[in-house]
Amino acid sequence: MAYLTLKGINKIYPNGYHAVHDFNLEIEKGEFIVFVGSSGCGKSTTLRMIAGLEDISSGEFLINGELANDKGPREREIAMVFQSYALYPQMSVYDNLAFGLTLQGVDEDVIDKKVRHVANILGLTDYLDRMPRALSGGQRQRVAVGRAIIRKVGVFLMDEPLSNLDAKLRLEMRYELQRLHVETGSTFVYVTHDQMEAMTLATQICLIDNGVLQQYDAPLTVYGKPNNLFVADFVGNPSINFVEAKGVQKGEQVELTVFDRMKATFIPNAPLDLNKWFRERDDQLAQKADALKEKATQKGYVEKGNKDEPFRYHIARVDEIDESLLEDPVLTNEDFVVGIRPEFIDIADGNVEGEIYGAMPTGMESTIKIRLGDYLLTGVVFGSTLFTIGSKVKLNIKSDDILLFDRSSGKRITSGRLILG
């Protein structure tokens, strides 16, 4: 049985805004779950519903199998860390850490033991007599975390706790949170819009867009096997390259045309029957439509109006086009999108000629832009190689993890190799 369970959770505000739609999630005890997505996607709203700070419009929230919709925050045995630290400025670090236990009437000797134990874990022992104003941002954040973990609770909720810190402190605090998770063995549910935080902290990533759960998987699965174009685009820095393609399956491979006229061959990692895949896609869409019709007859059910808007992926071109002004194309089962991670572009030994359009060395690696006709590809080259803008290079795609997406639905079809030319 999952420790925390969200079943069909919806949040609809009085003005009709549907912030979270039909949200289903199971969180095991001891996991470090990260809710990630762009601003306004519904991740903080979902966290606040878990905390009991926001009413659930419909659906069920269970803790250890027990319905908790009507339980207040204190009854849920949950501690929360906010972005703003929320420290008492008139109290010392010691008193801030001890405050919750003091309110509970815990014996002073027990409080002192717990405060000093938590201070030791978080490296705050030397600052117990200081006031919050005398602390750095990172130290204040550690006090806020300490005030939460000093209480013996099952779940720690954190709403963008590192967003006010500079880059160096954020990195240090990530290490602190990783260590804290291991030492306490508690369940962490963490909200951020920073994909780097999500990838480095999470045991499972919950990626949300427009109030709808897009994927719930381990970080490397989200990166290597994204469910759809949105997930592939959101995770990864530099961003994934999207290449529109036309093609048909011939035998075990898919013959494609990319960059308007270049021939390419996609070889799947596993046996692929595209006709069967498209039939199953259409069946799923039909079943989804039937399920929505049935739900619409239920009392109080409200369908989120814009939840199925297609994701507008970006195609990098030398001369950028405002794609929002273009008419939506008529798509067929011959329309695909190929996803190529920048690290999979090899320019040491290739059979396709490109031109260096831009280069940004960072020491251990360089991020480069390569021009292929009217299009641009982003690549990452490891090492201290220097590139000259305008110079010619030979490139190839070296990976078995190239992604093939259905352009119509945006769903990932499979992974495999891409041979250009």
221 φ, ψ (degrees, to nearest 5): -70, -45
- Judged against a pLDDT cut of 80, whether residue 299 lies above it is answered with no
Please identify which residue in the block is written with the tokens 């059910």: 301
Nearest to 173 by CA among 142, 148, 150: 142
Tens-place pLDDT, residues 255-286 = 999 998 999 999 999 999 999 999 999 999 99
Tell whether 200 and 132 lie within a shared domain: yes
Q: Is residue 288 part of a domain?
A: yes
The CATH number of the domain holding residue 377 is: 2.40.50.140
Find which of 137-141, 261-265, 296-300 is predicted with most confidence, using mean pLDDT. 261-265
3-state helix, strand, coil in the chain (%, to 5): 30, 35, 40
Q: Could you tell me the residue range of the domain that residue 121 belongs to?
A: 4-234
Q: What is the mean pLDDT of residues 238-253?
A: 96
- Judged against a pLDDT cut of 90, whether residue 380 lies above it is answered with yes
Tell whether 158 and 44 lie within a shared domain: yes
- Judged against a pLDDT cut of 70, whether residue 53 lies above it is answered with yes
Q: Is residue 75 part of a domain?
A: yes
Q: Higher confidence at residue 81 or residue 296?
A: 81
Residue 216 has a CB neighbour count (10 Å cut-off) of 19
> Number of C-alpha atoms within 13 angstroms, CB side, residue 79?
18
Tell whether 26 and 99 lie within a shared domain: yes
Tell whether 258 and 168 lie within a shared domain: no
Whether the CB-CB separation of 46 and 208 falls below 8 Å is answered with yes
Among 43-52, 132-141, 145-154, 272-281, where is mean pLDDT lowest?
A: 145-154
Q: Is residue 299 part of a domain?
A: no
> Number of C-alpha atoms within 13 angstroms, CB side, residue 211?
20
Q: Which two tokens stand for residue 398?
A: 């070296």
Q: Is residue 307 part of a domain?
A: no
399 φ, ψ (degrees, to nearest 5): -175, 150
Tell whether 221 and 163 lie within a shared domain: yes
Tell whether 227 and 262 lie within a shared domain: no
Distance CA 225, CA 243 (A): 17
Q: Is the peptide bond before 73 cis (omega within 30 degrees of 0)?
A: no
Q: Is residue 310 part of a domain?
A: no
Q: Is residue 301 part of a domain?
A: no
- Judged against a pLDDT cut of 80, whether residue 33 lies above it is answered with yes
Tens-place pLDDT, residues 161-202 = 887 777 887 888 888 889 889 888 889 999 999 999 999 999
Tell whether 258 and 205 lie within a shared domain: no
Looking at the structure of the chain, the number of domains it has is 2
DSSP secondary-structure letter at 323?
A: G
C-alpha dihedral (113, 118, 121, 122), degrees to nearest 10: -140
Q: Is residue 373 part of a domain?
A: yes
Whether the CB-CB separation of 142 and 176 falls below 8 Å is answered with yes
Whether the CB-CB separation of 194 and 117 falls below 8 Å is answered with no
Distance CA 12, CA 307 (A): 14
Tell whether 50 and 158 lie within a shared domain: yes
Q: Is residue 113 part of a domain?
A: yes
End of a domain among 234, 264, 284?
234
Helix axes 137-149, 167-184, angle to 10 degrees: 20
Tell whether 228 and 253 lie within a shared domain: no
Among 4-13, 124-133, 348-357, where is mean pLDDT lowest?
A: 348-357
Tens-place pLDDT, residues 228-237 = 999 999 999 9
Whether the CB-CB separation of 150 and 204 falls below 8 Å is answered with no
Tell whether 271 and 338 lie within a shared domain: yes
Among 149-158, 242-251, 410-419, where is mean pLDDT lowest?
A: 149-158
Q: Higher confidence at residue 383 or residue 235?
A: 235
Q: In what order do the strands lie in the sheet with 155-159?
A: 78-81, 155-159, 187-192, 32-36, 204-209, 212-217
pLDDT of residue 327: 74
Tell whether 163 and 266 lie within a shared domain: no
The CATH number of the domain holding residue 31 is: 3.40.50.300
Per DSSP bridges, beta strands 345-346 and 352-361 are unpaired
Q: Is 344 helix (H, G, I), strand (E, B) or coil?
A: helix
Tens-place pLDDT, residues 90-117 = 999 999 999 989 988 899 999 999 999 8
pLDDT of residue 115: 94
Distances, alpha carbon 394 to alpha carbons 60, 256, 346, 402, in Å: 56, 20, 8, 19
Query: C-alpha angle with apex 161: 159 to 162, nearest 5 degrees?
Result: 140
Tell whether 73 and 99 lie within a shared domain: yes
pLDDT of residue 153: 79
